[in-house]
Structure 1
Amino acid sequence: MLTDWINESNINIVEHTPDWQQAVALAVQPLIDSGAVEPRYLQAIYDMHREIGPYYVLGEGIAMPHARPEEGVIHTALSLVIVSEGVEFHSEDNDPVYIVFALAAIDSDSHIEMIASLSHLFCDDEVVQKLRQCHSKEDVLQAIRQY
């Protein structure tokens, strides 16, 4: 379940961020703080974005920034930022982004269940809409509890 990964310590809800870099930084910071990733992990996401574009914008209003395990992942983890006003990631079909899940995976297999839960959530338009409108961490946890 996503609540095995997402809790009050790794949820952040903000009205506004000036740009996609700040949104990604807010999402990755709990992973750094908890020791799941090294600080260089954030730079790896920025570098990859600059090289190939917003590869981690998965659908309308949803992003899942991540980098390769060797870019500083210590253990598998997930965090979430909700940007109430949305932020431009320069993803033509999916901007603005409101929901940013930062993912750190130690390898290509250990996070399969987490990804499956996230994909079910992303396909549920009603829950995605609820997440966009959450104003408290408890609201977020309530919205994702079924996944």
Structure 2
Amino acid sequence: MLNELLTEKTIQMAERTESWEEAIRLAAKPLLDQELIKEHYIDAMIDNVKTLGPYMIIGPEIAIPTRGLKWG
């Protein structure tokens, strides 16, 4: 499933964002535009970081740590 979502149309590049929340929203925008996710999913991703810490689990034994990234 992940390989179906990570395509040239869905990968976003940005030199800077004002916050990690904005980075999540920017990264999710193509999926939202294609109606693959809904706005509440983006809010849930942001809430998960606030609740569980700065990493994303994207599959069994696969996590993306975000600690140490700089914003702004």
TM-score by length of 1: 0.37
- Relative to 1, partners in 2 of residues 1:5 and 1:33: Cα closer, same or farther, differing over 3 Å? same
Shift in Å at residue 42 of structure 1? 0.8
What residue ranges of structure 1 are gaps of 5+ in the alignment? Answer: 64-88, 98-147
> 2:7 corresponds to which residue?
7
> 1:28 corresponds to which residue?
28
Runs of 4+ in 1 over 6 A off after TM superposition: none
Amino acid paired to 2:41: Y
> 1:53 corresponds to which residue?
53
Distance of 2:45 and 2:24 partners within structure 1? 8
Mapping of residues 66-81 of structure 1, within 5 Å? none
- Equivalent position SS for 1:56: strand
Number of residue-to-residue matches in the alignment:
64
Pair member with larger Rg: 1
Distance of 2:55 and 2:12 partners within structure 1? 22
Structure (1 or 2) with the greater strand fraction: 1
Shift in Å at residue 38 of structure 1? 1.0
